[in-house]
Amino acid sequence: MSNNPIGIFDSGVGGTSIWKEIHHLLPNENTIYLADSANAPYGPKGSEKIKELSIKNTELLLKKGCKIIVVACNTATTNAIDYLRETYNVPFIGIEPAIKPAALQTKTNAVGILATKGTLSSELFSKTSGKFASNIKVIEREGKGIVELIESGKLYSDAMKAILLEYLQPMLKANIDHLVLGCTHYPYLIPILLELLPNHVTIIDSGAAVARQTKTVLEKNSLLNLSAETINLKFYTNGSIDVMYSLLGKGFDVKHLNF
């Protein structure tokens, strides 16, 4: 069982930002990544639909023998992880916007958060936000259009810059000193955000923390891969292979699969 793969899924290519952190920390692990790009974006879909898609992705990964599932999508985590944990007999790792560290570190008492509608409107997010950020100003913006541009290979485009400027303006006006990236597609925006943000704004993303949590849970369940066999890193997408390559780099085993 311990050399079975780690299963990772996202609404599309964004969760590869999490896969990179996991592979960096756990280079001896087999992995299977599912990009449900044909159904991206999940953000504007209702909670029931997001749950249904998360179930479909989970069942495919379980069929492929995954020993643990990383829900590399804030929107799927905040809407479906409780159900997944109750229903399937493997450990699940989720990802939530890192509002807690931002709230603890802010000196201006104002933080910005960029996430999808599905995440911002979820019960889990309002609970976390209420618990850790009730006495600071949280400027939330729904990142409408961002996932679509990334999924269509237009990460570095004038359209992306224009959208980001629009979402950042009210945050900068409110004097934020931290910007929380609440979607796994957004770490790919960091080079653009660094150009647009003043130096005193710290960008927070949860990728490295998710990788550490994955390692801890594997250890606790005696599931770390200790075998010396060559590992397999598999990527399946029901969308564009080229967009996957543009984010991962060539040389990976990326296949098209209808699911």
Annotated catalytic sites, by residue? 73, 183
Binding of ligand DGL by 237 (CB under 6 A)? no
CB of 49 to ligand DGL, least distance (A): 12
**How far is C-alpha 4 from the chain's CA centre?**
22
Binding of ligand DGL by 206 (CB under 6 A)? no
Binding of ligand DGL by 210 (CB under 6 A)? no
Q: Which CB atom, from 14 or from 239, has the smaller least distance to ligand DGL?
A: 14
Give the residue from 38, 46, 32, 40 showing the smallest Cα distance to 14: 40
Q: Of 26, 179, 183, 218, which lies in the binding site for ligand DGL, with binding defined by CB under 6 A?
A: 183
CB of 142 to ligand DGL, least distance (A): 10
Binding of ligand DGL by 11 (CB under 6 A)? yes
CB of 14 to ligand DGL, least distance (A): 4
Bridge pairing between strands 233-237 and 253-256:
parallel
Binding of ligand DGL by 128 (CB under 6 A)? no
| Contact characters 82-121, ligand DGL, x per CB under 6 A | ----------------------------------x--x--
Tokens encoding 9: 């899924």
Q: Of 57, 74, 122, 129, which lies in the binding site for ligand DGL, with binding defined by CB under 6 A?
A: 74
Positions that interact with ligand DGL (CB under 6 A): 10-12, 14-15, 40-43, 73-75, 116, 119, 147, 183-185
Binding site per annotation, positions for substrate: 10-11, 42-43, 74-75, 184-185
